[in-house]
Amino acid sequence: MTDTALITAGAERRGLIGLDPAALQAALIDAGVAAKAAPMRMRQIWNWAYVHGARDFAAMTNLAKDFRAAMDARFDLARPEVVTEQISEDGTRKWLLRTGPGIEFETVYIPEADRGTLCVSSQVGCTLNCRFCHTGTQKLVRNLTPGEIIGQLLVARDALNDWPSTGENRRITNVVMMGMGEPLYNFDNVKAALAIVADGDGLALSKRRITLSTAGVVPMIPRAGAEIGSALAVSLHAVRDEIRDVIVPINKKYPIAELLQACRDYPGLSNARRITFEYVMLKDVNDSLADARELVRIIRGIPAKINLIPFNPWPGAPYECSDWAQIEKFAEIVNRAGYASPVRTPRGRDIMAACGQLKSESVKKRASERMAEMHSRELSRMPG
Ligand code: SAH
């Protein structure tokens, strides 16, 4: 009974998080705000929501009390529900969030000496099936909405006490679209969300500090550059089509040569704005020194840095991480050719928060929970 009551009450209020300015203004006018006053009210609510992280209208002290009450009756600024928060021994934090039955996704905060990065999901599950990626073993449930994408940042800033977003010494200084899912298969929602992230009167992170990572959805790369304008990372992972076809199967649709051409043409590319090529180090698969030399040959002329990612294992994964000595030799060849080749330190492995480890563990647990629930329902239906 209470469940139904809650759902009904919730459904009456419309969530405002994730609406663009025009949609927010239209919502206010719908609710009876005079058209003349609407732009001003919209900016005020926007500023409270995204600069100050207000979670309810009562906090908006420069708005009249009865106006706040009227807003509160119709709208909310709700975040995704936090199902679990885990903190790694290295300080990495992972949140499992939920916005509806079976709509669960993860966000990871990675603190470093000179920055704090939030790794944000764009989809629940994924369609790509990259062979070394845990998320890839999970079917796509659905795209996340702009509100759900933004909501990840709001939850993290709430938990880290990281408001106002325009203040000095923020804990979250960078956002990477490197969580679950393929952001370029959810282009419109990712674009809408990142516009709010990059808005100076919004979540206020400069576009230089926002990186979108793609497995190589080639036709969408020019649009990402023109319409989103963030930094670009590309999950390259192999230098020959025979291998990339197997480990990043989208390569069969958009092979390496086409992918690299899209990188060469990426709008705004320069030495100050380089593409990051991600390269997961898989023992005896893509980590030979010949592969390293071929890598620097095929990317010649592209302002780039190469991010070598030690493979993060997961239960049943068909690969092993390359030996450290091999990773170092590989990095040195790339580096001597003139490319920065940082090795990404694995973070949060103990809580399954490292690259490619997201979500699946909680899915498994939940699947078994669902089974248990189903069985108990079946049992309770059996005639006694
Ligand atoms: N779909 C996008 C966004 C995911 S970003 C993309 O593919 O770029 C996550 C990064 O982690 C990608 O570069 C991905 O290839 C890499 N990755 C996936 N599984 C991994 C694993 N087990 N170990 C290390 N890196 C992994």
Tens digit of each residue's pLDDT (9 = 90 or more) over 17-60: 999 999 999 999 999 999 999 999 999 999 999 999 999 999 99
Q: Over 161-202, what HEC string results?
A: CCCCCCCCCCCCCEEEECCCCCHHHCHHHHHHHHHHHHCCCC
Report the pLDDT value the prediction gives residue 358, as an integer from 0 to 100: 78
What's the CA gap between 365 and 349, in Å, rounded? 18
Average pLDDT over residues 207-219: 97
Give domain 81-351's CATH number out of 1.10.10.60, 3.20.20.70, 3.40.50.2000, 3.40.50.10440. Answer: 3.20.20.70
Q: Could you report the per-residue pLDDT of 148-191, keeping only the tens digit for each?
A: 999 999 999 999 999 999 999 999 999 999 999 999 999 999 99
**Ligand 1 pocket, 106 CB below 6 A?**
no
Equal CATH topology for 3-76 and 81-351: no
Lowest mean pLDDT: which of 10-14, 300-304, 354-358? 10-14
**Ligand 1 pocket, 215 CB below 6 A?**
yes
Q: Whose CA is nearest to atom 20 of ligand 1?
A: 356
Report the pLDDT value the prediction gives residue 13, as an integer from 0 to 100: 92
Task: Choose the residue to mutate in 194, 309, 360 for probing ligand 1, maximizing ligand atoms within 8 Å of C-beta.
Answer: 309
**Ligand 1 pocket, 133 CB below 6 A?**
yes
| Cα 355 to ligand 1 centroid, rounded to whole Å | 6
Atom number of ligand 1 nearest to Cα 234: 8
What's the CA gap between 59 and 62, in Å, rounded? 9
Supply φ then ψ for residue 62, to 5 degrees: -90, 10
**Ligand 1 pocket, 312 CB below 6 A?**
yes
Atom number of ligand 1 nearest to Cα 356: 19
**Ligand 1 pocket, 33 CB below 6 A?**
no
Q: Could you report the per-residue pLDDT of 310-360, keeping only the tens digit for each?
A: 999 888 899 999 999 999 999 999 999 999 999 988 889 889 888 888 764
Q: Whose CA is nearest to atom 9 of ligand 1?
A: 178
Q: Could you report the per-residue pLDDT of 238-290, keeping only the tens digit for each?
A: 999 999 999 999 999 999 999 999 999 999 898 889 999 999 999 999 999 99
| Cα 248 to ligand 1 centroid, rounded to whole Å | 10
Residues 6 or more apart whose Cβ sits within 8 Å of residue 167: none
| Cα 296 to ligand 1 centroid, rounded to whole Å | 21
**Ligand 1 pocket, 309 CB below 6 A?**
yes
pLDDT band at residue 384 using 50, 70 and 90 as cut-offs: very low
**Ligand 1 pocket, 213 CB below 6 A?**
yes
Residue pair 336/302 in contact by the 8 Å Cβ criterion: no
**In the structure encoding, which two tokens stand for residue 190, read together?**
């990712």
What's the CA gap between 379 and 159, in Å, rounded? 41
**Domain definitions of the chain by residue range:** 3-76, 81-351
Give domain 3-76's CATH number out of 1.10.150, 2.60.310, 3.30.70, 1.25.40. Answer: 1.10.150
| Cα 238 to ligand 1 centroid, rounded to whole Å | 13
Q: Could you report the per-residue pLDDT of 118-158, keeping only the tens digit for each?
A: 999 999 999 999 999 998 888 899 999 999 999 999 999 99
| Cα 21 to ligand 1 centroid, rounded to whole Å | 33
Could you list the active site residues?
A: 106, 355
The answer to whether the bond into 383 is cis (omega within 30° of 0) is no
Q: Is the pLDDT of residue 365 over 70?
A: no
Higher pLDDT among residues 377 and 140, named by residue: 140
Report the pLDDT value the prediction gives residue 5, as an integer from 0 to 100: 39
Report the pLDDT value the prediction gives residue 326, as an integer from 0 to 100: 97
Task: Tell me how long the chain is.
Answer: 384
Report the pLDDT value the prediction gives residue 10, as an integer from 0 to 100: 47
Work out the mean pLDDT of the chain and round it to a whole number.
Answer: 91
SS3 142: strand
Report the pLDDT value the prediction gives residue 366, as an integer from 0 to 100: 56
Higher pLDDT among residues 304 and 375, named by residue: 304
Q: What percent of the chain has pLDDT over 90?
A: 82
Report the pLDDT value the prediction gives residue 102, as an integer from 0 to 100: 87
